[in-house]
Homo-oligomer: A and B are copies of this chain.
Amino acid sequence: MKSLNIGLIGYGFMGRTHSNGYKRVNDFFPELKHRPVLKAVCGRNAEKVQAFADQWQYESIETDWKSLIARDDIDAVDICTPNNSHAEIAIAAAAAGKMILCEKPLALTPEEGVRMCEAVEKAGVANTVWYNYRRVPAVTLAKQLIDEGKLGTIYHYRANFLQDWTINEDLPQGGEALWRLDAAAAGSGVTGDLLAHCIDTAIWLNGSIKDVSAMTETFVKERMHNETGKKEKVTIDDACAFMCHFENGSLGLFESTRYARGHKALYTLEINGRDASIRWDLHDLHRLQYFDNSDEGRLKGWRSIHVSDHSGDQPYMDKWWVPGLQIGYEHTFVHQVADFISSLESGEAMHPSFRDALETQQVCEAVLDSAKERAWKNV
């Protein structure tokens, strides 16, 4: 068993999900020949980062990401910082010859993204972006069905990502906890945070997007800012919807909001093909809804496939428990770590790569531009 020494930068929510992925992967993927080692975690606040290191058993801490990148005992850098620092860190890490696992969205802008892609490609370092929902077993199964042609010609793709956590006007913006509400740190609101997931999955499942027409809205116009201590204009999009055409001729409809009372993380997608349709929903992530038009007429109906069934080769599920017993959200990160290590061992390309994530970034940019200009935009 070889070591894969991890240096984690940032230790918020995503720092936890990634750390869990590294710690669990070898228990469940015994065929892997590398074991991730939690070598160092980096953050500006030494006390807090030490507490995180203690809890998660990181061997050491750093308070400056440049020091982390400079260490010889780090093989892979995992970037979990706010979006506005991804580019600088990633480009430096690539220059230092580190593998990079970067949180999504890739960057603030496509321009940054291009530079990041060029950096990792020039350095020849392994790279991936944590669009983890590709590795929900039911979503991976959807990918298989589409690639096998079971859906036939695709007519429609629709996806939502609905939350309700920012309805309260008293919620402040900015700072360590709420940087996602500040465009300076996040780049955008729901577009980069939520729709980026939907777009990544859509491109993966249904191919490239050609053009978009979007609208955005900021329902709460001002919020107290944690850094200035004053009410400041809210600069992010609270909600965003867009229509689009895919290259394959199908129509797309996407919506995201943090003002959909009653939904916490309702990422749903539906794809209608000539021969079959599928639906999926993150709140009940173990089920894939499937309608197969080749079923006998009298008995056609949407099938609720519980991917724990084990009657066939449901993706990833043989690694876990026995039939009927489900896994959860965090397992998508374990899967991504497993596939990342597999790709190192096999030499096959890892996806989503920085290059894949750049395409999503370009769609996000077109969406934001379209909303601003109230006009269709080509991607």
Contacts and interface: CB of A to CB of B under 8 A. Distances in A.
A116 B277 CA distance: 42
A260 to B, nearest CB: 4
Contact of A261 (B245, B272, B304, B375): B272
A283 B300 contact: no
Q: Is the interface of A mostly helix, strand, loop or mixed?
A: mixed
Contacts of A260: 155-156, 272, 277
Given A55-B30, A329-B327, A219 B155 contact: yes
Copies of this chain, tallied across the complex: 4
B265 A325 contact: yes
A287 B323 CA distance: 19
A57 B35 CA distance: 12
Contacts of A143: none
A295 B303 contact: yes
Given A155-B261, A283-B324, 4 more contacts: A156-B259, A163-B324, A263-B272, A297-B313
Interface of A: 13, 17, 19-20, 23-24, 26-27, 30, 55-57, 141, 144-145, 155-156, 158, 162-165, 167, 213-215, 217, 219, 239, 241-243, 245, 251, 253, 255, 257, 259-266, 272-277, 282-288, 290-293, 295-306, 308-314, 320-331, 374-376
